[in-house]
Amino acid sequence: MKVISLRAAVSAVILVAAVCTAARVTPAEPAHARRGLAHGPERGAASSKADYCTDCHGPSGQGYHGYLTMPRLAGQTPEYIVNQLRNFAERSRERDLFINMSRIHGLGADQRAALAEHFHGLNPSPIGGGPQNLVGEGRRIYQEGIPEANIPACAACHGPDGKGQDAIPRLAGQLYTYTVKELTNWGRERAQGREDSSAVMAPIARALSPAQSSAIAAYVNSLR
């Protein structure tokens, strides 16, 4: 009989509990959001994938803040979602050890587009939780950049309201801890061998200090 360590057993229980909690504690998804994937062959085929996505990202795509941090997908630009689904499938974006993204490999172009439109159409209230004392500094960096460090204003690409456009992602309402993680780990997780909008962010993310990344994350978390 194979014996596992107590630490491994406890870690497994915590992980399962966290994912189950993410699926259980989030508010019910509006009926119109579910109907959005119910019409047309490509949308119907994508509906089961949407169910899988909401297990972690929440039934309204609002994300989950807990033992594991799952990003907000609600309101995200469709082109950005499609690009990230492709990057995960092609392994040009690193997958977190704990996040099983394997089911996206069977998605066709029409199904990816249907999922992207589905989440783009959702608009739950942001979860919040970012440190309010950093919002002011984050607003300054977001709107003005840091010229002395050659860091441009975030608003120049992501928009003054943080809602993004085309391949530039929405940041408004994104979970604080997720944004901090992405800015900190950008070079390891993004644009691996791919020249796209993710590559544009690489030198900016490297130039940001931990305090500056935290301030930006706190500010965009406060946007709706």
Same domain, 73 and 142: no
pTM for this prediction: 0.76
Average pLDDT over residues 98-114: 71
Same domain, 112 and 138: no
Half-sphere exposure of 9 (CA within 13 A, CB side): 5
Give the CA radius of gyration of the chain: 18
| Long-range contact set of residues 131-134: C-beta below 8 Å, sequence gap at least 24 | 131/176, 131/214, 131/218, 132/218, 132/222, 134/214, 134/215, 134/218, 134/219
**Structural domain contains residue 4:** no
The predicted-structure confidence for 171-202, as pLDDT tens digits, reads as follows 999 999 999 999 998 877 775 555 567 778 98
Contacts of 103 (CB under 8 A, 6+ apart): 49, 52
**Structural domain contains residue 16:** no
Same domain, 170 and 110: no
Nearest to 152 by CA among 71, 75, 212, 221: 212
Give the range of the structural domain holding residue 188, as residue numbers without chain letter.
132-222
Cβ–Cβ under 8 Å, residues 223 and 172: yes
Q: Which domain CATH number covers 199? A: 1.10.760.10
**Structural domain contains residue 59:** yes
The predicted-structure confidence for 139-168, as pLDDT tens digits, reads as follows 999 999 999 999 999 999 999 999 999 999
What's the Cα-to-Cα distance from 139 to each of 10, 88, 162, 172, 216, rounded to whole Å?
41, 31, 11, 12, 7
Same domain, 106 and 161: no
**Structural domain contains residue 70:** yes
**Structural domain contains residue 11:** no
Same domain, 116 and 177: no
Cβ–Cβ under 8 Å, residues 1 and 53: no
Same domain, 41 and 73: yes
Average pLDDT in the chain: 78
